[in-house]
């Protein structure tokens, strides 16, 4: 199998005490099943985790840096977006 034809996969591991899978690295493999086995060999030999997810890097859709202004501008100057902005009348205060 030609090195150039191997696909790139991103590896996510969930540790024993964790609730979420964390990104730990990437590797090349021929297909997802092989990627899973290589992930086990490369990323779990020191008791790092109990669960492995591998995703083809080409399947990951990521936000672009140029979009950060539009995407992430904090809503600090938009207090009306927060529930705490609104005063409730005493009669329904414990809604």
Binding interface with another protein (CB under 8 A) = 1, 3, 6, 27-30, 33-34, 37-38, 40-42, 45
Nearer to another protein, 15 or 34 (CB): 34
Selection from 68, 16, 70 nearest residue 44 by Cα: 16
Least distance to another protein, CB of residue 6, Å: 7
Least distance to another protein, CB of residue 56, Å: 15
CB atoms within 10 A of CB 13: 20
Selection from 66, 37, 73, 74 nearest residue 54 by Cα: 37
Nearer to another protein, 21 or 28 (CB): 28
- Cβ–Cβ < 8 Å for 22, 29: no
Nearer to another protein, 17 or 45 (CB): 45
């Amino acid at each position: 199998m030609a090195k150039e034809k191997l696909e790139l996969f991103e590896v996510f591991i969930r540790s024993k005490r964790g609730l979420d899978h964390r990104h730990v690295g990437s590797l090349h493999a021929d297909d997802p099943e092989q990627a899973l086995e290589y992930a086990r060999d490369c990323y779990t030999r020191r008791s790092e985790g109990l669960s492995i997810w591998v995703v083809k890097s080409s399947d990951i859709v990521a936000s672009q840096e140029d979009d950060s202004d539009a995407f992430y501008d904090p809503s600090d100057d938009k207090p009306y977006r927060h529930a705490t902005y609104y005063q409730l009348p005493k009669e329904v205060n414990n809604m």
